[in-house]
Amino acid sequence: MIPWFQFTVIHFGFLTIHVWGLLVALGIFCATWVASRKAKRDGLNPNIVCDFAFWVILGAFLGARLFMIVYEPSVYLANPVELLKVWQGGYSEMGGFLGAVIVLLMYFRSKKLDAWRYAGCVAYALPLGFGIGRIGCFLIHDHPGTLTHFILGVRYPDGVRHDHGLYLSIEGFLLFLLFVFLDRKHAKPQTFVVAFLILHGIMRFFLDFLRAIDVRYFFLTPAQFISIAMVLAGFGLLCVPFYRLKRS
More confident: 9 or 161? 161
> Does residue 223 surpass a pLDDT of 60?
yes
Residue-wise pLDDT tens digits, 117-150: 999 999 999 999 999 999 999 999 988 999 999 9
Residue 188's nearest CA partner among 236, 134, 120 is 120
Q: What is the pLDDT of residue 87?
A: 67
> Does residue 36 surpass a pLDDT of 70?
yes
More confident: 248 or 94? 94
Q: What is the pLDDT of residue 88?
A: 67
Residue-wise pLDDT tens digits, 166-203: 999 999 999 999 999 999 999 998 899 999 999 999 99
Confidence of residue 247 (pLDDT cuts 50, 70, 90): very low
CA distance 248 to 234: 17
Residue 176's nearest CA partner among 132, 140, 217 is 132
CA distance 245 to 238: 11
- The answer to whether residues 195 and 128 touch, using CB atoms and an 8 Å cutoff, is no
Is residue 109 part of an annotated ligand binding site?
A: no
Between the CA atoms of 89, 93, 168 and 192, what dihedral angle is there, to the nearest 10 degrees? -150
Residue 144 — φ and ψ, nearest 5°? -65, 145
Output the furthest CA–CA distance in the chain (Å, rounded). Answer: 58
Q: What is the pLDDT of residue 136?
A: 92
Percentage of the chain beyond pLDDT 90 is 56
Q: What is the pLDDT of residue 161?
A: 95
Alpha carbon 241 to chain centroid distance?
27
Provide mean pLDDT across the span 201-214. 91
pTM listed for this prediction: 0.88
Q: What is the pLDDT of residue 243?
A: 45
> Does residue 89 surpass a pLDDT of 80?
no
